[in-house]
Amino acid sequence: IESGGENLVRGLKHMLADMEKGQLTHTDGTAFELGRNIAATPGKVIHETPLYQLIHYAPSTDTVLETPLLIFPPWINRFYILDLSPEKSFVKWAVDQGLSVFLVSWKSADASMKDMVWDDYILGGQIDAIDTVRDLLGVESVHTIGYCVAGTTLAATLALLAARGEADKVASATFFTAQVDFSKAGDLALFVDDEQMKLVDQLSAGGFLD
């Protein structure tokens, strides 16, 4: 009533635009500008594998702490969720504290990854990144952050390192919205049932979920 129906027209335009793109959107993608309000903190890729790229951020302090910070974001999101505009960037905040910050950017799943399993994200992903940073800086250990499913994976990585007698490679581990004990899955159980798993199987029939 207040807009004279203009909101309905605007909503229809959004729907048609989403249909043309083939996906639902919640924000205007054209509003983002690389380096301004998305992936704003200066850094560069220093290591690349078929599974991930490793970004090292430029220091903003005269000196940095000896033990670096290595961040594992979820592979179903993008690394820049932690580095939007400077005012909203966890990465910038960490760099400004004098930390040497590294962050993994996972490869988006495609047909080339159809044979990869969770072990690959542990061995060829997290442990490889931990060892790469340690070797690069010549340090004994790294601080780690595991975000969402990458936090679940980090818990498994820590267990494997401990079993190998290599637990001291990780000085500390911090978990962002990460579930580890699935025996009490809480609200997650509302979204994971037999029907949902059948749907996932159908959507990933080619060996990967786009």
Token representation of residue 85: 């505009």
The mean pLDDT value of the chain amounts to 92
The CA distance from 182 to 185, in Å, is 5
Partnered with residue 71 across adjacent β-strands are 103, 145
The CA distance from 145 to 83, in Å, is 14
pLDDT digits (tens, 9 = 90+) for 103-125: 999 998 889 999 999 999 999 99
Residue 189 has pLDDT above 90, yes or no: no
Of 94, 130, 148, 161, which one is the catalytic site residue?
148
Whether 148 is catalytic: yes
Q: How far apart are the first and last CA of the chain?
A: 41
